[in-house]
Amino acid sequence: MQATAAAFLARPLPRLRRIGGWGPDVPAVRGGVIALPPRLRGSRCSISLSIGAGAGAGGDREFSYAEHVPVFPRYRIRDPYKLLGVDRDASEEEIRSARNFLIQQYAGHEPSEEAIEGAYEKIIMKSYQQRKKTKINLKTKLKKRVEESPSWVKALIGYFEVPSMDIISRRLFFFAFIAGWSIATSAENGPAFQLAISLFSCIYFLNEKMKNLLRASSTGFGILVGGWIIGSLLVPLVPTFIIPPSWSLELLTSLVAYIFLFLGSTFLK
């Protein structure tokens, strides 16, 4: 091993071969490696790349965009109305429009977006709670008025009740069908048959609640007579240009009677 190393060190260095002649500025080749002239081998320089420097114009634009995201100036305000810039009596549509406009203006800044969304939700929730309290207050006031009313008013109100919306819609559809049937056949004959069906239906509905056929029959017949009388008094007061020429006085009076039969069979106890 030592003999081999000594033989290697004893070998003469390869001679330099000039490319393109001889001169101080012409590089030499030693063992296939180009040796630079001494004046070009003086100092070494290094190039350091900063982030975004080599990215070109696109990198600069991305960096400037991240720095110049618009910030909502009122996002720290606690009052939701002042934060959104709306009045306290503004409508729900105005509040929604203000929220959508601000979200578009300051998109990209997360604290601004969260503040705008939070203010909008607070206002909507407060409006819902106020409507709910107002509805409860109206019911309470109405109940209090009924309790403070005279005895005859209490007795009159005691004859009425409000059923479920399912019952109201079904009764309304039934009497509307009878009214449409009467209008469709008004040119052929009068609405006597349809009135009879409406009267019997009203008696049937009343008997389900009263459990007394005689009382239900007398009540239903009284409703029909009362509706017919009121209809005969109100119909002549209606302007003629509103009423179709084919509708007779008897038909119009029967339509008013159908309304009374519907109300009586639905809301009477």
Can you read off the two tokens belonging to residue 235?
Answer: 């119909």
Residue 40 · residue 29 · CB < 8 Å: no
Phi, psi of 98 (to 5 degrees): -65, -40
The share of the chain scoring above pLDDT 90, in percent, equals 23
Q: What letter would DSSP give residue 207?
A: H
Strand, helix or coil for residue 118: helix
Based on the number of CB atoms within 10 Å of its own CB, is 203 exposed (0-12), middle (13-18) or buried (19 or more)?
A: buried
At 20, which amino acid appears? G
Query: What pLDDT sits at residue 6?
Result: 52
What whole-number distance in Å separates Cα of residue 231 and Cα of residue 227?
6
More confident residue, 227 or 138: 227
240 confidence band (pLDDT: 50, 70, 90)? confident
14 confidence band (pLDDT: 50, 70, 90)? low
Residue among 103, 134, 138 nearest 121 (CA): 103
Residue among 262, 197, 176 nearest 227 (CA): 262
Segment 201-207 shows an average pLDDT of 93
16 confidence band (pLDDT: 50, 70, 90)? very low
Q: Helix, strand, coil: what percent of the chain each, to 5?
A: 65, 5, 30
Q: Per-residue pLDDT tens for 137-194?
A: 666 776 777 677 777 777 777 778 888 888 999 999 999 999 999 998 876 777 889 9
More confident residue, 21 or 183: 183
Enumerate the domain spans of the chain.
80-146, 159-267
Biggest CA–CA distance in the chain, Å, is 141
Q: Per-residue pLDDT tens for 118-133?
A: 888 888 888 887 777 7
11 confidence band (pLDDT: 50, 70, 90)? low
Q: Per-residue pLDDT tens for 45-91?
A: 444 444 444 444 444 444 444 456 788 888 788 888 888 888 888 88
Query: What pLDDT sits at residue 201?
Result: 93
Q: Assess whether pLDDT exceeds 70 at residue 33.
A: no
Phi, psi of 61 (to 5 degrees): -65, -40
Q: Return mean pLDDT, the chain.
A: 76
Query: What pLDDT sits at residue 219?
Result: 93
Query: What is the DSSP annotation of 209-259?
Result: HH--HHHHHHHHHHHHHHHHHHHHHHGGGS-TTTS-TT--HHHHHHHHHHH
